[in-house]
Amino acid sequence: MSVVGMTVPQEAGAGGAATAQRVPWVAGFAPRAVAGAAGSPRQEGKALRARVPFAAHADMTPVVDRPDAVRAVEESNQGRVPELTPIRVGRMAASPFAFLRGAAGLMAHDLEGCPVTEIGAQLCGDAHAANFGLYGDARGRLVIDLNDFDETVFGPWEWDLKRLAASLVLAGRTVGASEEVCRTAAVDTVGAYRRTMRLLAKLPSQDAWNAIADEELVSHTDARDLLGTLERVSHKARKNTSARFAAKSTEAVEGGGRRFVDALPVLRRVGDQEAHAVAASLGEYLATLPPDRLPLLARYAIHDVAFRVVGTGSVGTRSYVVLLLDHRGEPLVLQVKEARPSVLLPHLLRIGFPGEPERHEGRRVVLGQKRMQVVSDILLGWTTVQGRPYQVRQFRNRKGSVDPAALTPEELDDYGRMTGALLARAHAHSADPRLIAGYCGKTEELDRAMGTFAVRYADRTEVDHADLLAAVRSGRIAAETGV
């Protein structure tokens, strides 16, 4: 495609005093009133135990209209690029842990039958153990946090925690860890969440907001057995940049500039019409960024657009990479990724949790991410391409991740405690930590109950995964493996 200049819109004129406005969705972050409770948020949280005792979190009551696993996968494939859905099925079929990664909607369906505290928080919506990782901040320093927000929505805090705990059990089983090790990892994950929330509840509000700096995270969660793995991942993440990706995935073109090179089926160039539609959408994207980012992006020009397959649950959604070059030919790669409605929303509405469809799904993803992370990508924004909503972010922004299904038993438990602490920190940005801490209490009773749930849900997921494998073997659903 021809080179397209990046036009930066004019900033709105400044003038007059800024006035504080109450944004409608802020009301959703106020906790629901607790009948018969009065006093501090901690007391209100404690009062909730009478209605939802800790032991109730061990239950996994089957939902009457639960679809079978194969039908759930087929339904979740609707609206995706048809030729890519066999890749998605193949990735989900790799293991029960991989199945869970692609089945956030099915788990939300199952969680409908579980008791909820009705304490709301901004949820990741897909808080399994592989959705935490390293990425670079504005100065190139590495931070670790939740890093996938496709399903983010306001909902019950325990939905995220139960998904995380169940994923630790499945990750452990994948590498042959004993049942005791897997269960302990789940219990300790919940325990780390609970203790971290208690710590945050004791701090001044601003300190709690920025608490548990990344360099203190290992010591806070006593995750010393994980140090070697984190160091290796960090070393790899520092090299995982736009420049490295562009060097491998593009070629020089006559007259200057670069263009993507096909690497099917993962990366393919697109036609001029599609490429221009994506490039043109970045004008809308610029309007969603803080004005101070615009001079930076004004120094780049768009050179090429390609389609790139991503993720496990995300496979089949439309996702593009956009190559930009500055005056020295140094690359910046943006990802323009389709944002579908959160698969959790219908299930939250069915249990009467407050919420409504977002007017732009890319906006939902971006705002949800910013609400949960301490540090976010400075180029996060959203746009619309040919009538579909998209999120926009930096691609290969020094990202690195730990594969929880490849950890030793000692590392698995450390990793669970670390991710449990990170999840608590993320939830405390939108829910009052005093309220959740008041409910969770000081004892390990909640930890053990959710650990029991995690084991039971892992068993359920293994059955679902077996059903998917049987459907693939019978030809009911197509799967492409090894991609």
Q: Domain range holding 206?
A: 41-238+400-474
Q: Does a structural domain hold residue 136?
A: yes
Please name the residue that has the structure tokens 């970045």. Answer: 282
Q: Does a structural domain hold residue 146?
A: yes
Q: Does a structural domain hold residue 91?
A: yes
Mean pLDDT for each consecutive 10-residue tract of the chain (483 residues)?
40 38 40 54 96 96 87 94 94 97 96 93 97 87 91 97 98 96 97 94 88 66 80 89 93 93 94 97 97 96 95 86 96 97 94 81 97 94 97 92 91 94 95 97 98 98 98 96 78
Tokens of 392: 């926009």
**For 36-54, what is each residue's pLDDT tens digit?**
455 799 999 999 999 999 9
Phi, psi torsion values for 474, nearest 5 degrees: -80, -10
Q: Does a structural domain hold residue 222?
A: yes
Q: Does a structural domain hold residue 434?
A: yes
Q: Does a structural domain hold residue 72?
A: yes
Tokens of 125: 């919506």
With 0-12 / 13-18 / 19 or more C-beta atoms within 10 angstroms meaning exposed / middle / buried, residue 276 is middle
Q: Does a structural domain hold residue 257?
A: no
For strand 120-123 and strand 381-385, is the pairing parallel, antiparallel, or unpaired? Answer: unpaired
**pLDDT at residue 412, rounded to an integer:** 96
Beta-carbon count within 10 A of 336 CB: 26
**pLDDT at residue 410, rounded to an integer:** 85
Q: Does a structural domain hold residue 328?
A: no
What H or E segment, with its residue span, contains residue 276? helix 272-286
**For 328-378, what is each residue's pLDDT tens digit?**
999 999 999 999 999 999 999 999 887 667 789 999 999 999 999 988 999
**pLDDT at residue 267, rounded to an integer:** 96
Q: Which amino acid is at 82?
A: P
Q: Name the pTM for this structure.
A: 0.90
**pLDDT at residue 22, rounded to an integer:** 34
User: Looking at the 3D structure of the chain, how many domains does it have?
Assistant: 1
200 Cβ contact partners less than 8 Å away, ≥ 6 residues apart: 208, 211, 424, 425, 428, 433, 437
Single out the residue of 104, 95, 127, 122 nearest to residue 314, CA to CA: 104
**pLDDT at residue 173, rounded to an integer:** 97
